[in-house]
C-alpha cells in the first residue's frame, strides 16, 4: 500500500577525593578542620541534592487522535499546545490493532525511536531492511536523507508503544540512514533504592546505554516502587520531559500535586529531577532529555528541514526519486 500526500496523512503534513596523608593531617589541628570540611563536602555531593532541581513548567494530557490508517495515537509533543520541544518534534503513545497501522510513508531530516511497551510491530523499508520488534525492544532509526517504510502491528490484539521523533542538526539532516536495534534483553538495566531503570539512551545509576545519539539525548524508562524516591541528574541546559505510563507520581517539588498516566510534563532548566512515589502502586514513566539544536524548524509532515526551500526540494526529491529517495520509485511493502 502506497500513500503519497493522501488526506489521511495530511494531519502530519500540516537530556574530592583528598589525597592528603591522614597521618600528617591529623598532627596538625588546622589541617584536621580542613579534613572535616572536605569530608562534609563529599557527603553533600554524594547525596546529590541538586543545585537547581527541575520543576514541572507545563502539563499536557495526550488525548487520542487518529493517525496513519485507522490507528490511534496519544500525541503529546507535536500537538498544538506543545509543538516543538527542541530537539524533540513528536511523541506518540500508540495503541494499534491490525489491520490499522502506518503503511508506506517517507521520512527525512530526523530520527524516529520506537519503543515497544506491549506486543510487536513489523518494519519494512525500501532498502530491504525488515524486522519485528517486540515488547521492550527499541528501534532507533536515523532517517537522515531519506527512508520510506511501513510500520504495522505484527501480533494479534492491541500492540502498544511509544514513538519519539528527534530532530537532526542541519549538518546531519542528509546523512545516510542508519538503524540501531536493541532487543529487550540487551537494554541496560539498573536498580537502586526501590527504583528500576531501563536505559535506552544516556546514563543512569552509573550504567550507560550503547546507543549512539547524533543529537545528544537521554531516554530512560523508570519504575518507582511505592514510597521510593528518585534523583536523576540531567544535563543543565538540555530540554527534558516526563511521560507517565502507569501509576501516579510527584515530580519536581515534594508538595506538588501528583500526575498520572498519559500526561506529559515539561521540565524547567536545572541539573536534575526529583520524583516521589507517594501512592500504593508502582509508578512507571519515561524521562527524555536532549540538547537543543537552536535551529529553525520547518516541518511538512514526515519531512523536517531548516527552510521552506529545503522542504520544497525534499518533496521534489521524494516525488522524482532523487537524493536518497531513488529506491522509493519501485518499492511497495509486502503484505
Ligand atoms: C508518519 C502519519 C503517520 N506516529 N507512532 C504521517 F502516522 C506517521 C507515522 C507515525 C507513527 C508510526 C508508529 Cl510505529 C508509531 C507513529 C506517527 O508513521 F510518519 C507520517 N508522516
Ligand atoms: Fe515512520
Atom of ligand 1 nearest to the CA of 67: 7
- Predicted confidence band at 22 (pLDDT cuts at 50, 70, 90)? very low
pLDDT in tens, 174-209: 999 999 999 999 999 999 999 999 999 999 999 999
The verdict on the CB of residue 67 being under 6 Å from ligand 1 is yes
Task: Tell me what pLDDT residue 55 has.
Answer: 98
For residue 87, whether the previous peptide bond is cis, meaning omega lies within 30 degrees of 0, is yes
Between CA 218 and CA 14 the distance in angstroms is 28
CA–centroid distance, residue 208 to ligand 1 (Å)? 29
Nearest CA to ligand 1 atom 7: 68
- Residue matched to cell numbers 536505559: 199
> Given this model, what pLDDT does residue 48 score?
65
Which pLDDT band holds residue 335 (cuts at 50, 70, 90)?
Answer: confident
Cell of 38: 572536605
Look at residue 329 in the predicted model and tell me its pLDDT: 86
Nearest-angstrom CA–CA distance, 191 and 186: 16
pLDDT at 296 over 80: yes
DSSP-assigned beta bridge partners for residue 74: 64, 93
Compute the average pLDDT of residues 278-283: 98
Minimum mean pLDDT among 12-21, 102-111, 140-149, 273-282: which range?
A: 12-21
Residue nearest to atom 18 of ligand 1 (CA): 102
Residue with CA at minimum distance from ligand 1 atom 2: 68
Retrieve residue 131's grid coordinates: 524486522
Q: Which atom of ligand 1 is nearest to the CA of 121?
A: 14
Kindly report, residue by residue over 51-63, the tens digit of the pLDDT. Answer: 999 999 999 999 9
Say if residue 133's pLDDT is above 90. yes
The residue-averaged pLDDT of 243-269 equals 98
Q: Would you call 123 exposed, middle or buried from its count of C-beta atoms within 10 A (0-12, 13-18, 19+)?
A: buried
CA of 202 relative to ligand 1 center, distance in Å: 25
Please give the C-alpha separations between residue 181 and each of 119, 151, 200, 210, 331, in angstroms, as whole numbers: 16, 15, 11, 10, 23
- Mean predicted confidence (pLDDT) in 132-156: 97
Distance 147 CA to ligand 2 centre (A): 8
Q: Which 3 state secondary structure label does DSSP give 37?
A: helix
Share of the chain above pLDDT 90, in %: 84
Return d(Cα 197, Cα 114) in angstroms, integer.
18
Confidence of residue 304 (pLDDT cuts 50, 70, 90): very high
Predicted local confidence at residue 40, as pLDDT = 32
DSSP 176: P
Q: For residue 2, is pLDDT > 90? A: no
Query: What are 73-93's pLDDT values in tens digits?
Result: 999 999 999 998 999 999 999
Helices (H) and strands (E) in the chain, counts: 4, 26
- Whether cis (ω within 30° of 0) applies to the bond prior to 14 is no
Q: Please compute the mean of the pLDDT values over residues 285-300 and round it to a whole number.
A: 98
Which of 68, 100, 333 for mutating ligand 1's site (highest number of atoms within 8 Å of CB)?
Answer: 68
- 205-243 burial, b for 16+ CB within 10 Å, e for fewer? beeebebebbbbbbbbbbbbeeebebbbbbbeebbbbbb
CA of 68 to the centre of ligand 1 (A): 6
Q: Cβ distance 138 to 188 under 8 Å?
A: no
- Please tell me the predicted confidence (pLDDT) of residue 223: 98
* Across 239-249, average pLDDT: 98
* Dist. CA 139–CA 325, nearest whole Å: 21
Q: How confident is the model over 206-218, as pLDDT tens digits?
A: 999 999 999 999 9
Distance 107 CA to ligand 2 centre (A): 7
Lowest mean pLDDT among 23-32, 100-109, 303-312: 23-32
What is the value of pTM for the model shown? Answer: 0.87
* Ligand 2 mean position, distance from CA 103 (Å): 8
Amino acid at each position: 500500500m502506497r500513500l503519497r500526500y493522501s488526506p489521511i496523512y495530511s494531519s502530519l503534513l500540516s537530556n574530592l577525593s583528598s589525597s592528603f596523608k591522614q597521618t600528617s593531617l591529623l598532627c596538625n589541628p588546622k589541617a584536621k578542620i580542613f579534613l572535616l570540611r572536605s569530608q562534609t563536602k563529599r557527603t553533600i555531593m554524594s547525596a546529590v541534592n541538586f543545585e537547581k532541581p527541575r520543576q514541572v513548567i507545563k502539563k499536557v494530557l495526550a488525548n487520542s487522535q487518529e493517525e496513519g490508517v485507522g490507528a490511534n495515537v496519544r500525541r503529546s509533543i507535536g500537538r498544538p499546545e506543545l509543538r516543538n520541544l527542541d530537539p524533540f518534534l513528536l511523541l506518540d503513545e500508540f495503541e494499534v490493532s491490525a489491520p490499522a497501522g502506518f503503511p508506506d510513508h517517507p521520512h527525512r531530516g530526523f530520527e524516529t525511536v520506537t519503543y515497544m511497551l506491549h506486543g510487536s510491530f513489523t518494519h519494512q523499508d525500501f532498502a530491504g531492511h525488515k524486522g519485528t520488534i517486540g515488547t521492550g525492544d527499541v528501534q532507533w532509526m536515523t532517517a537522515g536523507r531519506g527512508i520510506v517504510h511501513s510500520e504495522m502491528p505484527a501480533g494479534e490484539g492491541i500492540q502498544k508503544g511509544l514513538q519519539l521523533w528527534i530532530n537532526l542538526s542541519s549538518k546531519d539532516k542528509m546523512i545516510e540512514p542508519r538503524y540501531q536495534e536493541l532487543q529487550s534483553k540487551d537494554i541496560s538495566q539498573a536498580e537502586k533504592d526501590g527504583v528500576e531503570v531501563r536505559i535506552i539512551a544516556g546514563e543512569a545509576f552509573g550504567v550507560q546505554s550503547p546507543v549512539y545519539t547524533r543529537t545528544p539525548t537521554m531516554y530512560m524508562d523508570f519504575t518507582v516502587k511505592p514510597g521510593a524516591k528518585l534523583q536523576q541528574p540531567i544535563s543543565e541546559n538540555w530540554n527534558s520531559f516526563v511521560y507517565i505510563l502507569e501509576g501516579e507520581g510527584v515530580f519536581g517539588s515534594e508538595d506538588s500535586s501528583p500526575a498520572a498516566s498519559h500526561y506529559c510534563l515539561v521540565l524547567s532548566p536545572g541539573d536534575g529531577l526529583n520524583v516521589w512515589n507517594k501512592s500504593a502502586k508502582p509508578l512507571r514513566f519515561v524521562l527524555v532529555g536532549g540538547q537543543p539544536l537552536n535551529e529553525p524548524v520547518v516541518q511538512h509532515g514526515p519531512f523536517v528541514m531548516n527552510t521552506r526551500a529545503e522542504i520544497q526540494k525534499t518533496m521534489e526529491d521524494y516525488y522524482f526519486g532523487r537524493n536518497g529517495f531513488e529506491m522509493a520509485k519501485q518499492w511497495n511493502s509486502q503484505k
